[in-house]
Amino acid sequence: MDIKPIVVVSRCLGFDACRYDGQMLSNSFVSQLAPYVEFRPVCPEVEIGMGTPRAPIKIIMQQGKPHLIQAETGNDFTHSMQEFSEEFFSSLGEVDGFILKNRSPSCGIKDTKIYAKVEKGPAIGKASGLFGKQVLSEYGGLAIEDEGRLNNKKIREHFLIKLFTLARFREVKRMGTLGALMQFQTAHKLLLMAYNQSQMRKMGKLIGSATKMTPMPELFLEYEQGLHCVFSRQARIGSHINALMHAIGYFSKQLSAAEKTFFLDHLEKYRNGQVPLITLVSLIQSWTLRFGSEYLSQQMYLTPYPESLLNFKER
Ligand code: SF4
């Protein structure tokens, strides 16, 4: 299934010179992702009429609540930002993920500095920007990251797996049939196993107990909640090993003793951080081609997102 995820992105990350200082930032991950997704760029500060360039704003805690204040003018943009966010979400339509500018008082997700007063002084902590906070509360189950964290390989990999899986599920939801959902579950079995085996079983049971009489909207909603739960954290090494052992079981009769030993040896090296996961996944892929396993050839675990995105170079 070739579907492009829909991703809301901070407009200053390569789309427009809309930063407070009139600059645009280049972001190599966003550029590399561009051919594979549909971006929906947005600049909340420009959308609320602040103009570019503009005097910077910061988050000030007032009576226990974050306020978006422009120190130079004393203007409080909190209400405008909240109103804009709500309007934006209501017209956004379907979406699978967000890539937002880090540290921004508007777009930040978790690392925006907060202050006690408008006048110069040290930060008193870190929190979400105002738009970022509303994104998290409205779309918490989706693939949401800030561009800074996406420089980390593990975070980026998890983000991509989640993003592309949710996009594939969106297409299945559009089809709305039990058959399509069963196919999705089958194709993602190994991937779900690598993330959360008990949740994978629950989702399998949910589909197994459904009939043609089951109301599809409720079934899809419950399944989607399960999917969000699966991807609420990164997959653990032990769970990947579980999934890989399950996969090699499909070749138990065809592989030689030496090949099995080679695989198990590399599995241990993977456990100890000496070999990357992709080495083992590539072995499973090559044996899938060689022995023609129909079940494994459809497993999204082997190619959860476009392969060329694997080659991203960290800054
Ligand atoms: S961080 Fe967000 S609000 Fe600031 S310039 Fe970029 S898109 Fe606009």
Q: What pLDDT, on a 0 to 100 scale, did the predictor assign at position 177?
A: 95
State which of 9, 40, 58, 101 you would mutate to test the pocket of ligand 1, scoring each by most atoms of that ligand within 8 A of its C-beta.
101
Q: What pLDDT, on a 0 to 100 scale, did the predictor assign at position 71?
A: 93
Query: Could you read off the pLDDT of 115-164 as tens digits, one per residue?
Result: 999 999 999 999 999 999 999 999 999 999 999 999 999 999 999 999 99
Query: Could you read off the pLDDT of 104-122 as tens digits, one per residue?
Result: 999 999 999 999 999 999 9
- For the CA of 11, the closest atom of ligand 1 is 7
Q: Which residues pair with 127 in a beta bridge?
A: 112
Query: Could you read off the pLDDT of 42-52 as tens digits, one per residue?
Result: 999 999 999 99
* The Cα angle at residue 38 between residues 36 and 42, in degrees rounded to 5: 135
207 CA to centre of ligand 1 in angstroms: 42
17 CA to centre of ligand 1 in angstroms: 10
State which of 106, 113, 146 you would mutate to test the pocket of ligand 1, scoring each by most atoms of that ligand within 8 A of its C-beta.
106
69 CA to centre of ligand 1 in angstroms: 15
Distance (Å, whole) CA 253 – CA 237:
26
**Reported pTM:** 0.95
State which of 7, 9, 19 you would mutate to test the pocket of ligand 1, scoring each by most atoms of that ligand within 8 A of its C-beta.
19
Distance (Å, whole) CA 126 – CA 114:
6
Mean pLDDT of 77-96: 98
Contacts of residue 284, Cβ cutoff 8 Å, sequence gap at least 6: 244, 247, 248, 296, 302
36 CA to centre of ligand 1 in angstroms: 23
Q: What pLDDT, on a 0 to 100 scale, did the predictor assign at position 311?
A: 77
> Which sign, positive or negative, has the C-alpha torsion 241, 243, 245, 247?
negative
Distance (Å, whole) CA 133 – CA 79:
14
58 CA to centre of ligand 1 in angstroms: 12
* Mean pLDDT for all residues in the chain: 96
40 CA to centre of ligand 1 in angstroms: 13
> Which sign, positive or negative, has the C-alpha torsion 305, 42, 140, 115?
positive
Residues with CB under 6 A from ligand 1: 10-12, 18-19, 43-45, 101, 104, 106-107
